[in-house]
Amino acid sequence: MTNKLKRTLLVTGASSGIGRAIAKLLLQQGHTIIGTSRNCQQFTKQHKNFHAFEIDFSRLDLIPAKLKALENAYPQLDGVIFSAGYGQFGSIEQFSFAHIEQLMAVNFTSQAFITRGLLPNLKRKLHCNLIYIGSEAALKGSRKGSIYCASKFALRGFTQALREECGTSSVRVSLINPGMVKTAFFNSLTFQPGEDASHALLAEDIAETVSYILNSKQHMVIDEINLNPANKVIKFKK
């Protein structure tokens, strides 16, 4: 059953993949969505309840000012879905120092920045959700995933501690850890899910999980949800 309460929600990484699916579903449900992207020209379709907001999460120095502008433009904001991020895999020696810094900035530090910037006002709302899209990589370290896993482990620990900090407020903190999802995430990688439908989740599966959390009763908090395809099959590209 869909919650009749219409929300104003920030969705990071809304121009593609999981973020796009989340934004699309929540718009269909009547919510107002502020969608972020590094390049807002990627938003090619207009919707009366969708507002594009350009921000580059690798530029940590610019985020505080961007958040002030966001709060001023959308004072009704009462929730954030953190779905921006990217994957980069390889042995630690294959990463430059700059690559390590950027991956951690986009996948973790920028999300901590956004939380820090928006949380004081969000705590004043009667009802607020912070939903973070993590990864199965936050549950177990894997070969050639040292930095990516570190970014997702950091996010998981952050949400666990944040949940405790927000326990006496109206803010509910949730984490979704998907396994492999069939999106453009794998376009730049050397591997991808197998070809059978059972080998990968769909972005829409994650969107429906976000909706489930948003529509849950206010007296409970959904801490963490792990999602996986029925069969985990990895296909390496030639």
| CATH for 48 | 3.40.50.720
Q: Is residue 55 part of a domain?
A: yes
Q: Is residue 208 part of a domain?
A: yes
> What is the per-residue pLDDT across 182-221, written as a single tens digit (0 to 9) for each?
887 777 777 788 888 998 899 999 999 999 999 999 889 9
Q: Is residue 163 part of a domain?
A: yes
Q: Is residue 2 part of a domain?
A: no
pLDDT over 60 at 3, yes or no: no
Q: With the C-alpha atoms ordered 44, 50, 55, 57, is the resulting torsion angle positive or negative?
A: negative
Mean pLDDT of the chain: 92
Q: How many structural domains comprise the chain?
A: 1
Q: Is residue 131 part of a domain?
A: yes
Q: Is residue 1 part of a domain?
A: no
- Residue 28 is part of which domain span? 8-236
Q: Is residue 31 part of a domain?
A: yes
Q: 110-122 vs 63-73: helix axis angle to the nearest 10?
A: 30
pTM passes above 0.75: yes
Mean pLDDT of 33-60: 89
- Assess contact for 127 and 170: CB atoms under 8 A: yes
Q: Is residue 154 part of a domain?
A: yes
